[in-house]
Amino acid sequence: MRIAIFHNRYFERGGEDVAADAEAALLAKAGHEVHRFTADNREAITGSRLGPVKTALGAHWNPDTPPQVDAFLDAHPVDVAHVHNFFPVLSPALHWALARRSVPVVQTLHNYRLLCANGMFLRDGKPCEECVSRGPWNALRHGCYRGSRAQTAVWARATAHHRRRRTWESAVSRFTTPSEFARRKLLQAGLAPERVVTKPNPVPDPGPPAPMGEGAVFVGRLSHEKGVDLLLDAWRGMGGAPLAIVGGGPEEEKLRAQADGIAGVRFLGAQDHGRALAAIAAAAFVVVPSRWYEVFPMAALEALACGRALIVPRDTALVEVVEPGRTGLHFAFGDRADLARACAELLRAVPFTRALGGEARGVYEDLYADEPALARLEQVYEAALRDSA
């Protein structure tokens, strides 16, 4: 199969970039012909003095995208197109350019941005779904996109425009989203249920799990929605057990100050993928203390791949990764005391924690390794091709 992958990379590399790269590698390894078309937020925004203005004005329709797509397809004829992120540089002009060429489009929804300006259903540190019922311009009141009303207006204008134009009904064959939780939320955007498929992101196999390490590890961006401050507060009563914090971000300095005096905590900073996996392997379990609903974080799937138990919040997409008592534990969403209880249990019950890790690796092999991931992806493409026949 000939597949074009389109992706608008973020200013800072994140989970969506990792997922797009992993799927491209998985398809190429299976013998598919893969062609990649990539835009870069950093280049668009910082490349010239007018870059931010041009990007904002073009977020609902970038006139440069259709001719670029035409030239790309002329050079690389394809059977199906897979779009990951298109905001803000590529814009939905991409989808219409592909539709005009009769190329079936699969769109992965890595976040909740069709319904929420910041893509997280999060405001003032708490879940918020106001824009689902009140519409996209509601976000302007709160400056939900990066705390800026001007930048939020860019999202609201683009979202309202493409709802009126029925872009998502007319120019996309299939949507995929990594979790059933996210699928249920995104159906509130009015997408037809039969066109939205749950398909977890692929995670390359890191190899046979190492013997269980000690303590816990967090891997991810150090920002408010990730809940690392909750984890640090919970760790005060862990008696100096090791806790490794892997990642960087806007709250790093604040979190380091909070951790001062909490025995056992180490900040390892941002690490490349190999070192992040090594940090997971060096721990006994992984904690994902998120304040937002999440979609399906790569760190959670990588914990399964490394054979490590997980602690995750209830009432989020993460409960689909973790079966309590089999692959990890749940804690009450946003509850520091309950998070501390779960951490203490896994630190204390070493044989239990080891058994959870063994089950976690089995779940990875059954559901998320290359073979099942490739089969799911090929099925989505085949459905898109059938629709266009």
Single out the residue of 101, 94, 103, 75 nearest to residue 7, CA to CA: 94
Q: What is the largest CA-CA distance in the chain?
A: 64
Q: Taking each helix axis from N to C terminus, what angle separates 273-281 and 298-305, rounded to the nearest 10 degrees?
A: 60
Assess contact for 189 and 107: CB atoms under 8 A.
Answer: no
Distance between alpha carbon 219 and the CA centroid of its chain, in Å? 13
Give the residue among 189, 140, 183, 151 at the shortest CA–CA distance from 168: 189
Angle at alpha carbon of residue 181, lines to 363 and 8, rounded to 5°: 90
- Paired residues of 105 in beta bridges: 81
Q: At what angle do helices 350-363 and 336-348 cross, to 10 degrees?
A: 100
Query: What pLDDT score was predicted for residue 245?
Result: 98
**pLDDT of the residue at 54:** 56
Which amino acid is located at 200 in the chain? P
Q: Please give the pLDDT value at position 36.
A: 97
Q: What is the DSSP letter of 324?
A: B
The class of domain 2-203+370-388 in CATH terms is alpha beta
Q: What CA–CA distance (Å, rounded) separates 108 from 176?
A: 5
Contact 132, 188 (CB under 8 A): yes
346, 311 Cβ separation under 8 angstroms: yes
Q: Look at the alpha carbons of 88, 188, 226, 372 in this order and tell me if their dihedral is positive or negative.
A: negative
Q: What are the backbone angles phi and psi of residue 320, rounded to the nearest 5°?
A: -75, -20
Alpha-carbon distances of 29 from 2, 23, 34, 199, rounded to whole Å:
13, 10, 10, 19
- Are 247 and 219 in contact, with CB atoms under 8 Å apart? yes
CA distance 86 to 111: 12
CATH number of the structural domain 216-368:
3.40.50.2000
d(CA 110, CA 124): 22
Mean pLDDT, consecutive 10-residue segments, the chain of 389 residues? 93 81 95 94 51 65 94 98 92 96 96 93 92 92 90 90 93 96 90 94 94 97 96 97 97 98 97 95 98 93 97 96 96 97 98 98 95 96 90
CA within 13 Å, CB half, 227: 26
- The DSSP secondary structure of 97-136, one letter per residue, reads HHHHTT--EEEE--SSTTT-TTSSSEETTEE--HHHHH-G
Query: How far apart, in whole angstroms, are the C-alpha atoms of residue 375 and residue 202?
Result: 11
Matching fold, domains 2-203+370-388 and 216-368: yes
Question: In this structure, what are the phi and psi dihedrals at residue 216, rounded to the nearest 5 degrees?
Answer: -125, 165
Count CA atoms within 13 Å of residue 274 on its CB side: 0
CA 306 – CA 205 distance, rounded (Å): 8
Q: What are the structure tokens assigned to 296, written together?
A: 């399906």
Domain spans in the chain, listed from the N-terminal domain onward: 2-203+370-388, 216-368
Distance CA 37, CA 321 (A): 31
Dig out the tokens for 321 from the structure.
Answer: 């990764």
Can you give the pLDDT at residue 51? 46
Give the bridge partners for 108, in sequence order. 176
Which pLDDT value is given to residue 241?
Answer: 98
What was the pLDDT predicted at 52? 57
Alpha carbon separation from 149 to 55, 250, 385 (Å, rounded):
16, 20, 40
